[in-house]
C-alpha cells in the first residue's frame, strides 16, 4: 500500500498513486509483468505507484488499456498534474482546461507549443538548481497541458509571438530546428492561429507583458498576466475587457496568419542542421 502522508493524502496525485497500486494488485500482476506488457521500466512504474513521479499522458492511456478502466486513470492524471503548479497558476489552468477560446501573447515559446526536448532544456535553465526527478516531473506537467489542443472539441487558439521568440535560438541546433518545426506545424492546424509581432511594429501597449485571455462556454472570460516566477489572475469583467482591447491592438500590428506561416516555414528551412 502507498504510504500515507498527512500533507498529500487528500491530493489527486496521492489518489492516482493508490489506484495504480490497487489495480495492479487486484489484477494479480507483478511490477515485472506490468513492465513487460506496457514496455515501461519496472522502477518507473513503481515510482508512479508511490507517487514519486508524475507520468505522461501516453503512460496513463497504456495503463487504462491494460486494466480496462475506460479512461479513469487519464481523468485522475489530469487532476494530479495540477499539483505540480503553484496555486495561482493552478487556478489559471483550471480555467484553461474549460476554455473554448484562448488568446495568448508570448515573449518566449509558449508551453502549449514546446517540444519535449525544448521544454527539458528551458526548465533546466532556471536560476534555482533542479534535480533530475523534479525536471522530468516539470516536463511531464508542461507537456500534459498540450492535450487540450488535441481535444474533441478543441478550443480555438490564437498565439501572437513576439519576433524575438523566433530569432533567439537555443544552442542545440537540432532542438531549435525541432521546436521551430513544431510551431510551424501547429500554425497549420484548423483550430490554431499563429501570428508574429515583427520588430518593425515598434513598441506596443503590451510589450514586455505576456498575456493570456480565456473565454468559457458561458461567455465569461479571465485574463492571466505572466511574470517571472509568478502571475496574476484577473477575473473582473471590466479589467479583462481592457486587456482584450490591448490584445486586439497587438493582433492588428502583427503579421497576418498567412505571412506568419510563411516566415515560420522560412525559419524552419534556415535552421535545418
pTM above 0.85, yes or no: no
Residue 39 clears pLDDT 70, i.e. is over it? yes
- What is the residue-wise DSSP string for 150-183? G-SSPPEEEEEEEHHHHHS--S-HHHHHHHHHHH
Tell me the pLDDT of the chain averaged across its residues: 88
Superfamily of domain 12-82: lambda repressor-like DNA-binding domains (1.10.260.40)
CB 102 within 8 A of CB 214: yes
Confidence of residue 207 (pLDDT cuts 50, 70, 90): low
- Reported as half-sphere exposure (CB side, CA atoms, 13 A), residue 142 has a value of 21
pLDDT tens digits, one per residue of 86-132: 555 777 888 888 899 999 999 999 999 999 999 999 999 877 788 88
Domain 87-271 grouped into CATH 3.30.2310: no
Phi-psi label, residue 114: left if phi above 0, alpha if psi -120 to 50, beta otherwise: beta
Confidence of residue 3 (pLDDT cuts 50, 70, 90): very low
Domain locations along the chain: 12-82, 87-271
Tell me how far apart the alpha carbons of residues 14 and 5 are, in angstroms, rounded to a whole number. Answer: 9
pLDDT at 169: 94
Say what percent of the chain tops pLDDT 90: 56
pLDDT at 79: 81
- What is the residue-wise DSSP string for 2-49? PPP-TTTTTSHHHHHHHHHHHHHHHHT--HHHHHHHHT--HHHHHHHH
pLDDT tens digits, one per residue of 235-262: 888 999 999 999 999 999 999 999 999 9
Amino acid at each position: 500500500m502507498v504510504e500515507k502522508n498527512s500533507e498529500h493524502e487528500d491530493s489527486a496525485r496521492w489518489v492516482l498513486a493508490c489506484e495504480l497500486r490497487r489495480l495492479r494488485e487486484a489484477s494479480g500482476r507483478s511490477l515485472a509483468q506490468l513492465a513487460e506488457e506496457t514496455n515501461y521500466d519496472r522502477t518507473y512504474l513503481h515510482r508512479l505507484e508511490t507517487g514519486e513521479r508524475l507520468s505522461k499522458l501516453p503512460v496513463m492511456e497504456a495503463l487504462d488499456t491494460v486494466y480496462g478502466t475506460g479512461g479513469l486513470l487519464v481523468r485522475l492524471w489530469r487532476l494530479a498534474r495540477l499539483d505540480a503548479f503553484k496555486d495561482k497558476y493552478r487556478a489559471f489552468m483550471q480555467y484553461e482546461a474549460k476554455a473554448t477560446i484562448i488568446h495568448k501573447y508570448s515573449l518566449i515559446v509558449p508551453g502549449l507549443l514546446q517540444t519535449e526536448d525544448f521544454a527539458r532544456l528551458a526548465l533546466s535553465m532556471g536560476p534555482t538548481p533542479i534535480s533530475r526527478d523534479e525536471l522530468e516531473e516539470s516536463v511531464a506537467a508542461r507537456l500534459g497541458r498540450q492535450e487540450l489542443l488535441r481535444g474533441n472539441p478543441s478550443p480555438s487558439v490564437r498565439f501572437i509571438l513576439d519576433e524575438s521568440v523566433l530569432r533567439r535560438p537555443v544552442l542545440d541546433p537540432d532542438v531549435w530546428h525541432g521546436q521551430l518545426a513544431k510551431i510551424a506545424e501547429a500554425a497549420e492546424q484548423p483550430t490554431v492561429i499563429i501570428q508574429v509581432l515583427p520588430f518593425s511594429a515598434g513598441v506596443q501597449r503590451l510589450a514586455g507583458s505576456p498575456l493570456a485571455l480565456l473565454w468559457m462556454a458561458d461567455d465569461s472570460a479571465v485574463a492571466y498576466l505572466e511574470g517571472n516566477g509568478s502571475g496574476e489572475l484577473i477575473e473582473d469583467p471590466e479589467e479583462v475587457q481592457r486587456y482584450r482591447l490591448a490584445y486586439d491592438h497587438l493582433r492588428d500590428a502583427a503579421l497576418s496568419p498567412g505571412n506568419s506561416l510563411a516566415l515560420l516555414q522560412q525559419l524552419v528551412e534556415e535552421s535545418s542542421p
